[in-house]
């Protein structure tokens, strides 16, 4: 049985996942594209992560979720935590924020 409801958005997401694999788009980019973040919100997230890197501050999924909530308060509460966990896994795999420690 399929756990995902067949919707227009689900089909677009499925197509994006296939294209991302073939085009070697980073998982974190695809995750962030699944939510309508503005350029300013993405810049804010990047600045938060770089500031934490510079200060050598270890981040938890809760820290990242709180920052996502701060940047985009209209997201559903459960989305913050799951997105934060998935982003951390993706960033670690990609080594996008080299040297940033996730606790």
Query: So what's the pLDDT on residue 13?
Result: 79
Give domain status of residue 9, yes or no: no
- Token couple for 81: 């935590």
Query: So what's the pLDDT on residue 98?
Result: 86
The Cβ of residue 101 has, within 10 Å, a number of other Cβ atoms equal to 11
Q: Which conformational region is residue 56 in: left (phi greater than 0), alpha (psi within -120 to 50 degrees), or beta?
A: left
**Rounded Cα–Cα distance for residues 93 and 88 (Å):** 9
Give domain status of residue 88, yes or no: yes
Query: So what's the pLDDT on residue 80?
Result: 92
Task: Say how many domains are in the chain.
Answer: 1
Query: So what's the pLDDT on residue 38?
Result: 95
pLDDT, average across residues 23-43: 90
Share of the chain above pLDDT 90, in %: 53
Question: What pTM was computed for the model?
Answer: 0.79
Give domain status of residue 13, yes or no: no
With a cut of 70, say whether residue 14 has pLDDT above it: yes
Q: What string of DSSP letters covers 19-73?
A: HHHHHT--HHHHHHHTTT--HHHHHHHHHHHHHHHHTT--B-HHHHHHHHHHH-T
pLDDT bracket for residue 15 (50, 70, 90): confident
Give domain status of residue 17, yes or no: no
Q: Cβ(15)–Cβ(8) under 8 Å? A: no
**Rounded Cα–Cα distance for residues 92 and 85 (Å):** 11
Query: So what's the pLDDT on residue 48?
Result: 97
What is the domain extent for residue 81? 26-94
**Rounded Cα–Cα distance for residues 91 and 98 (Å):** 9
């Amino acid at each position: 049985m399929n756990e995902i409801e067949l919707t227009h958005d689900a089909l677009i997401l499925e197509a994006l996942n296939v294209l991302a694999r073939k085009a070697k788009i980073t998982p974190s980019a695809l995750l962030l594209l699944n939510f309508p973040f503005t350029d300013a919100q993405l810049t804010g997230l990047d600045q938060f992560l770089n500031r934490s890197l510079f200060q050598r501050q270890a981040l938890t999924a809760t820290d990242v979720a709180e920052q996502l909530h701060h940047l985009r308060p209209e997201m559903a509460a459960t989305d913050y935590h799951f997105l934060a966990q998935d982003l951390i896994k993706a960033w670690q795999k990609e080594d996008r924020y080299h040297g940033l420690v996730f606790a």
